[in-house]
Amino acid sequence: MKFDHAILDNGLTVIGEQRESAVSTAIGFFVKTGARDETKQISGVSHFLEHMLFKGTESRSALDITYQMGAIGAQANAFTSEESTVYYMAVLPEYFQNALELLSDMMRPSLDPAEFLVEKKVILEEIALYKDRPTYMLLESALATFFDSHPAGNSVLGSIESISALTRDQMAEYFNERYQPSNIVLTASGNFNFKELCSLAEKYCGHWSDMQVGRNRPPLNINKDKLVAKQLTKSDLNRAHVMLLAPGPDVRHKYRYEADVLSTIIGDHSGSRIFWELIDKGLADSASIESEQMDGVGVFYGYASTTPEALPQVSDILSNVMSTPLEFSDEDLDRAITKTATRLVLQGESSMRRMMTCGFDWMYGGEYISLEEELRRTKAVTRNSIENLVKQFDFKPSHKVSLVPAL
């Protein structure tokens, strides 16, 4: 593998991981903007805008975009999170230029007023759909409760009220503020030529004007002296759900690899402590503990789904496992490292997966981490380094949110 990077005159960063043995090429525009960059008045605009990039440009209609993607067999999509919006395609190498030209054009949408009104109805229906999903309802409420006034807890979808009130001009203003070249990383992975990538990026994106874009990164202040508990109810619900949250390392933290390995030890979907304590014993049908590393903040969260009657017992067990993260053997550690390394290698065989990894590593850490380096860092995790992680982040839950059937 060979990695290169460049910055165009207008500030657009271009990075590429070239693999001559790859049989595909993946391309993505990583925009450093998401729900945490929104105000309450325009909550959900990032996700709404993501939809609008597929709804036409000055030279293409929505139908043109759909047809031309199909003509080159592109596997294309986009997603929005609290922190970023990503647009991507995977194609055969011979369609690399076609894909980049199409994706670049989409990055400057027309925001047609008629399409805006049509898509607003789609977004409102999507919000209603997700509000009916227990796990989404729980996660959104849990993150909002945990982060409180911190912007990392902002809703990605927004609310019925905020989307209903959102105007096309507000979206255009947000686009002009956030979709600046210096706030975007163009990433490619697989079978392509980096010089050609830079040349095409200059041709298709070099005319974009730029201005500096910032992001508010306030500290996250969590009082762990008392557990903050919240209970939600929902009609037509048969299972009970619980989520426990605790502060964790951010995406640049020294011990982020330790956090991933430890989460695998205690919270993986199979073979972990929580698996043996809850799933294997039939106390819960689903349970996990994960580390989410974000821009400047991080969170550990444990989740379980069970019967309403067993919820108190399941919650206590989940809390105990999270509060005693160092109760593992050397064999547990070796197995978790092997699991993590295997997943990295399997994902590394995909141009799309590597494109995603490279894009996020560069956007948030300003560094390229090869697959070999990821494996080295993972295998370098020791009990001592995990203990150092736990000294800073003890995993003990500070917040608890549950969702139970309405009586």
Report the catalytic residues: 50
Q: Please, is 161 exposed, middle or buried when counting C-beta atoms within 10 Å of its C-beta (0-12, 13-18, 19+)?
A: exposed
Q: Which of 296, 366, 254 is nearest to 153 (CA)?
A: 296
The two tokens of residue 360 are 């996020």
Listed residue (27, 397, 373) closest to 194, CA to CA:
27
Q: How far apart are CA 265 and CA 271, in angstroms?
A: 8
What does the alpha-carbon distance between residue 118 and residue 109 come to, in Å, rounded to a whole number? Answer: 16
C-alpha gyration radius of the chain = 22
Q: Are strands 399-405 and 228-234 parallel, antiparallel or unpaired?
A: parallel
Which residue type occupies 134? P
Maximum pairwise Cα distance, the chain: 64
Q: How many residues does the chain have?
A: 407
CB 91 within 8 A of CB 191: no
205 and 376 in contact (C-beta within 8 Å)? no
State the residue for tokens 């200059």: 202
Residues 340 and 257: their CA atoms lie apart, in Å, by 10
Measured in Å, how far apart are the chain's first and last C-alpha atoms? 58
Q: What is the DSSP letter of 221?
A: -
Using CA atoms in the order 305, 308, 314, 318, what is the torsion angle rounded to 10 degrees?
50
